[in-house]
Chain A
Amino acid sequence: QQQVKQSPQSLIVQKGGIPIINCAYENTAFDYFPWYQQFPGKGPALLIAIRPDVSEKKEGRFTISFNKSAKQFSLHIMDSQPGDSATYFCAANSGTYKYIFGTGTRLKVLA
């Protein structure tokens, strides 16, 4: 019940495409859902986050869609660029100190 299942494991898109990364959870106590972006050799960096009182959040080209009834949330990257090539992690938190992370999606955007 503590898991966050992330898919796909890897993704290749053409420049300008819209990659979509999905996460699913079971614990209904989760109330904060961040996405992290990690470039090779670097630590993960907070990209965008959502709370379950809204169904969508946009920051620049990045959008989180949240489906509370299905217990799923997804990251969409509009007009993807080669510089977006990175590993993306979803995570969930229930108001405690600990986050549960997905296993990561390696995204490659072709020029």
Chain B
Amino acid sequence: NAGVTQTPKFQVLKTGQSMTLQCAQDMNHNSMYWYRQDPGMGLRLIYYSASEGTTDKGEVPNGYNVSRLNKREFSLRLESAAPSQTSVYFCASSEANGQNGYTFGSGTRLTVV
């Protein structure tokens, strides 16, 4: 049982480049999330998908877009990367309504130079 799988694990981008972070879960969870983690800032919600076919902005959505491809997969896209987007990105999933906590992936460490 893999849980939440994120790819890639590491990425270096040049300013202005684009990329997509992939996330897949095999727990039949309805809800999926993208967070970024920065030193001293904790975890901040970028976007979430309460259920297949819906997406909503979180706390820090600017510069990002998401796609809930199906129940299993939720991708995060950076259209034009900026150094301020250097961070560790975590995908998570949960049962409906977020109760009983999240299951997180192992993260993508992104550096924008």
Q: Which residues of A contact B (CB under 8 A)?
A: 6, 9, 32, 34, 36, 41-46, 49, 89, 93, 95-99, 101-104
Contacts and interface: CB of A to CB of B under 8 A. Distances in A.
Given A97-B50, A98-B48, A98-B58, A44 B43 contact: yes
Given A98-B48, A103-B40, A43 B90 contact: yes
A102 B97 contact: no
A36 to B, nearest CB: 8
B19 to A, nearest CB: 20
Contacts of A44: 43, 90, 102, 104
A100 to B, nearest CB: 9
A41 B31 contact: no
B102 A46 contact: yes
Contacts, number: 58
Interface of B: 4, 31, 33, 40-45, 48, 50, 58, 90, 92, 94, 97-107
A32 B42 CA distance: 18
A34 B43 CA distance: 14
A95 B45 contact: no
A42 B42 contact: no
B42 A93 contact: no
Contacts of B103: 46
B99 A99 contact: no
Contacts of B58: 98
Given A43-B104, A99-B98, 9 more contacts: A36-B104, A43-B90, A43-B107, A44-B102, A93-B98, A97-B50, A98-B48, A99-B102, A103-B40
